Amino acid sequence: MRSPPLALSLIVAASLAGACTAAVAPPTMAQAIPGAKAVATPIVRTAKTTSGQPLRLPQGAAEMVATAIDFPPGGRVMLHRHPWSRFLYVEKGRVAIINHDTGATVEAAAGQALAEVIGQWHEGVALDGQPARLVVIDLVPPGVVNMEMPK
């Protein structure tokens, strides 16, 4: 079995760090990991979504679900919402997240991570006529899918 990609490892670390903090804090400087030939560089640390909501994590039993989303040039993820916090890492390309409830648009490029909105209708689109790849992490009650589509 192959090791998970670096992006997955980083988003798990970022999501866990974000879930454990009580306030928005800027990332700290890169630090050497004692006893290792590696450097840990924080990407994001937040207690809020891109629209300012507090993170929503399940109480009790939970599972982590990691998913890769590949966008062709100009591709999009249609209108949807999340009942639980979802953490997103842009592995390649650039995307726009368009929030239909607030009217805000957030753009993110390769190497950036963010906490998506909770319970607000939004869609994602690849920008610049280029493909994009996202890695998303959900922390949800066992067996729950963290994506609702309009009826």
Domain assignment present for 42:
yes
> Is the residue at 52 inside a domain?
yes
> Cα–Cα distances in Å, from 79 out to 85, 99, 104?
17, 9, 14
pTM of this structure: 0.77
DSSP letters spanning 116-135: PPSS--EEEEE-TTS-EEEE
- Domain assignment present for 101: yes
Does some domain include residue 145?
A: no
In the chain, the number of structural domains is: 1
> Does 147 map to a domain?
no
Residues of the domain holding 91: 6-140
Domain of 79: which CATH number? 2.60.120.10
Per-residue pLDDT of the chain in tens (151 residues, 90 and over written 9): 444 444 444 444 444 444 333 334 445 567 777 777 788 889 999 999 999 999 999 999 999 999 999 999 999 999 999 999 999 999 999 999 999 999 999 999 999 999 999 999 999 999 999 999 999 999 999 999 999 999 9
* 29 within domain boundaries: yes
